[in-house]
Amino acid sequence: MRVLVTDPVDDAGLDLLREAGHDVTTGHDLEGEQLLDAVRDAHALIVRSGTEVSESVFEAASELVIVGRAGIGVDNIDVDAATRHGVVVANAPEGNVRAAAEHTVAMTFAAARSIPQAHARLREGEWAKSAYLGTELNGATLGIVGLGRVGQEVAKRLDALGMELVVHDPYINQERAAQFGAELVEDLDDCLARADVATVHTPLLPETEGMIGAAELETLGDGFLVNCARGGIVDEDALAAAVADGSLRGAAVDVFAEEPLDSDSPLLDAAEIVVTPHLGASTRAAQENVAVDTAQQILAAFRGEPVVNALNAPSIDETAFPAVEPYIELADTAGRIAVQLLDERVGDVEIHYQGDIAERDVELVTASALRGVFGSLEYEVNAVNAPRIAEDRGVEVTESKTRQADDFQSLVTVTVGDGTDEMAVCGTLFADDDPRIVRIDGYRVDARPYGQALVARNRDEPGVIGFVGSVLGQADVNIAGMFNARETSGGEALTVYNLDNPVPEDVLAELLADERMIEATQLSLEREG
C-alpha cells in the first residue's frame, strides 16, 4: 500500500508503516494540481493542519482508504466528502492531550503574571518591577468552555492549584463535571460571568465558530481569556479591542483564524495579549505520540479492522473487536441475499440481533449489513458510506436486540422491505466461526454463504428437485450442496442450491417455464472489492 505524507510527521510513525511493508512517500507543501497528482494512487494520506483535504482530493484519489490527521482538529478535512467517497477520516486525539493541557496552563500563568511582557522589557534593559501587578490563581474561578480530553486535563491541573471550576459543555452532565471538581452551568454567559479566567476547549464547528465575540467578552469582564483550542472560535478583533480598552484584563492565544498570523493582526498591538505560534502540541513526546497513533490507525484500516478514532465510520474498542468480527461478513452476506431476493427494492432495512451478539457493540456489524444491502445498488459501497447512502436514499434503518435466541447462541437477521413486501434472511455462526444462513423468508435452511447460489421456490411435489438438478446438469452447472425446506406437505417448498458456477439466463428461464416452479433467483455471494 502507498502512504502519502503531506505535512511534517515524526519518523516514529512513518517507520512503523515502512516496517509493515508499505511505501511511504513524503511531499510537504503540496497543493493544487500537485497534490491531486500525488494522491491519485495513494491508499492513505497523512496530514496535519497544513494540507486542505477537499472534495477534489477525494475525487482524484480513487484508491484512498483512510486520511489520518496527526493531531486533533480536522477542520482542514472535508469529512462529508470523505464519507461520500467511503474514506475513513481518523484523528489522533490522545497523543498531544497532555502537551496541549500543559501549554494552556502555561499560557494562563503567563497572562495572569505578565511573564512575557516583563521578560521582554528586562531584556531591553528596563527593570519594570512596579509596572506589573499580577493576579494569583489560587482561589480564582476558572471557566472551562468544553470539557473534552484537553479540558479535562486542564481541569485536573488547575483544580490542584486551588482554582474553583465552572464548566459549560452541552454534551456532559453534572455527574461528569463533578468527577473533575467542577460545577456544570447550562449557559455560556453564566460560565463567563463567574470566571476570572476563561479557557476554551471546543472543536471548531459551525456552531462554535465566533462563539466568543464582543458580547461574551463583555460578560467575562475584568478577567482573562485563554484560547489554545482552535482559531476562529474567538473573535480576534473583538478580543484585541476588549484588551486594548481595558475592559478585559488580558488574554493568551495560541491558535488563530488564519495561520500564520498576519503581521498586522490587532492581537499583536495589545500589550496584554500573550501570543504563541500554535505551540500547543509542539513537544517531542506529543509529536511522536500522534505520529504513532496515526500510523497504527492506518495499519488497522489496511487490515480491515476497526479504526479506533474514526470520525465518520463505525468503530469499536480493539479489545471488543474479536467477539464481533465473524459477524461482520455474515451480516454483509445476509444483506446481499435479502436485497437480491427482493429484486433490489429497498425502502427500509431492519437488523435484528438475538442471543449473545445482542450484548455486544454492533455498530460496525450494522454498517456491514447496510454495505451488503446497497452493494449491488451503488458504486463503491463500504461500511463508511453505507449509512450515508441509506440516509440519502431515504431508507429507514432500524436496529433491534433480543437477548434470547431460539435454537442458536446468536442470530443476525437482516430484513429488507419495500413498503409492501419484505424479505428476511437470518445467519449464525457454527463451531469455529463457520457462517451459515439458517432462515430465508421464514424457511429453515442450512446454507453455506459462499460463491454462487440458486434459491428456488416451488410447489412441494415429487420430482421437482430432480428436475432442477437435471436442468442444471445439462447446462454443466454443478451443484456443490443443497438444503430443502417446506411449509407443509403439499404446500410450498424452498431450496437453496450452492453452485460451482453461475446459472445462465436461458437456464433460469427453462426452470421457471415449469409450472411447478414459483420463483428461481440466482445469488452472487462473492463481494466485489
Residue numbers annotated as active site: 230, 259, 278
Peptide bond into 260 cis (omega under 30): yes
Q: How many CA atoms lie within 13 A of 351 on its CB side?
A: 27
Show the cell assigned to 373: 444491502
Beta strands (DSSP E) in 223-277 are 224-227, 250-253, 273-275
CA distance 281 to 102: 9
User: What one-character DSSP code corresponds to residue 379?
Assistant: S
What Å distances lie between residue 383 and 111, 365, 367, 494, CA to CA?
47, 9, 5, 31
Which amino acid, 177?
A
What residues form DSSP beta bridges with 310?
90
Q: Which among 92, 145, 486 is positioned nearest to 289, based on CA atoms?
A: 92
Residues written for the chain: 529
Q: How many CA atoms lie within 13 A of 77 on its CB side?
A: 25
Gap between the terminal Cα atoms of the chain: 15
CA distance 472 to 454: 10
Could you give the dihedral angle defined by the CA atoms of residues 245, 248, 250 and 254, in that order, rounded to the nearest 10 degrees? -100
Can you give 405-431 as a three-state secondary structure string? CCCCCEEEEEEEECCCCEEEEEEEEEH
Going by their DSSP bridges, the two strands 479-486 and 348-355 should be labelled as unpaired
Show the cell assigned to 300: 488497522
CA distance 128 to 226: 24
User: What one-character DSSP code corresponds to residue 261?
Assistant: P
Going by their DSSP bridges, the two strands 443-447 and 434-440 should be labelled as antiparallel
CA distance 421 to 415: 10
Helix axes 11-19 and 284-302, enclosed angle (nearest 10)? 30
Could you give the dihedral angle defined by the CA atoms of residues 103, 108, 114 and 117, in that order, rounded to the nearest 10 degrees? 30
Whether 202 and 233 have beta carbons less than 8 Å apart is answered as yes
Q: Which among 445, 467, 437, 440 is positioned nearest to 521, based on CA atoms?
A: 440
Going by their DSSP bridges, the two strands 422-430 and 443-447 should be labelled as unpaired
Complete edge-to-edge strand list for the sheet that includes strand 452-459: 479-486, 492-499, 452-459, 517-524
